[in-house]
Amino acid sequence: MAAACRPITGALSTPALASASTGTAGTLVPVSRDLRIGLLGAAAIAPSALIKPARLMPRVTVTAVAARDRQRAETFARKHGVPVVHADYEALLADPQVDAVYVPLPNGLHAEWTLKALEAGKHVLCEKPFAANRAEAERVADAADAAFERSGLVVMEAFHYRHHSLAERMRAIVAGGELGKLRHVEAEVCFPLPRLSDIRYDYALAGGATMDAGCYAVHVARLLGNGDPAVISARMLTLRKDPRIDRAMSAELEFPDGVTGRVRASMWSRRVLSIRARAVGSGGELSVTNFLMPQLYHRLTIRAPRGGGGRTVRHERVPRNPSSYACQLEAFAAAVLDGGPVLTSARDAVTNMGVLDSIYRASGLPLRGESKDQAAAG
């Protein structure tokens, strides 16, 4: 498996054995020979993101699950062979047979339960987006830094695509100068979600297209742009029933050194399905289709001018398997058990959430979780 899960160096990475704030070594918390993971919530993504990949890994076991509805958790456990069902999330966090937790709860609950997991002494793999906004993400990152210093706890944001070899190949092409001097990057994640009652359209749970799909587009743009962008402008389409919720968003970015960028996200618009990334340099252009789920299908194309006129076109494929989810879980286990690098750290999440906040501000929409933050400040 490790041969195809190779994105160990490069942008947006933090060594697990170095504190993100001080660079000093932490003391690893004792972990059993296997990494025993508990699941907070019987979410639909959990089988793909955790259950199936764990079956491929001798050092990882899924030992417990809890959900708001005990019956739902029991049904999930029977279907997927999870041995322990806890009455609630708190009981799972108190289980000494659980070393780490996977948090696939609604966006607005990510920060709360990551903090509680750290307080309980658990490593955390938290679904994206990491929090409702940058301020919330920073509070979690501060707690993650302290937990690492205290007991070596690892916190990782679940941007699974970043752990697949396709993402590393994309980064290497741009960073290695194959396209010449970088001028422009683009990324878009658009998919149809016509059921407007879905929690991803719920403002109270930090919903919106920018949160659910745009977080990926921004992360990929940062990966290719090799820096953190300023948001120049943003345009949105909103729900009629709740104009605070964006069903589609586009934003213009500017990176250091004058590199321009554009990101698009949609859960319901004319752009029904499009998952792609593009980088344009002085000497060529990279385009990638389906960077998000490359195990299903992907295409990487490099176009470059040819002497005497015309251009060369080269297509590449990387191994589709292991899946991006398997690569992510392998990286998480390696960070916890071996002190391996964390490509999608809590500190990186703060930066990514900051760009999302800037997009919302530029579009005129309120930040997610804003009223909760105001209440906490008061």
Long-range contacts of 1-6 (CB under 8 A, 24+ apart): 1/56, 1/57, 1/322, 1/326, 1/327, 1/330, 2/330, 4/164, 4/165, 4/318, 4/319, 4/321, 4/322, 4/327, 5/163, 5/164, 5/165, 5/322, 5/326, 5/327, 5/330, 5/331, 6/165, 6/168
Please name the residues in contact with 162: beta carbons below 8 A apart, sequence gap of 6 or more. 7, 12, 219, 223, 328, 343, 344
Task: Give the type of residue at 116.
Answer: K
The string of DSSP codes covering 126-185 is: EESS-SSSHHHHHHHHHHHHHHHHHH---EEEE-GGGGSHHHHHHHHHHHTTTTSSEEEE
128 catalytic? Reply is: yes
CA distances from 312 to 111, 301, 304 (A): 47, 10, 5
- Among 122, 128, 181, 241, the one annotated catalytic: 128
Hey, which residues does 61 pair with through a beta bridge? 36
Active centre residues (catalytic):
128
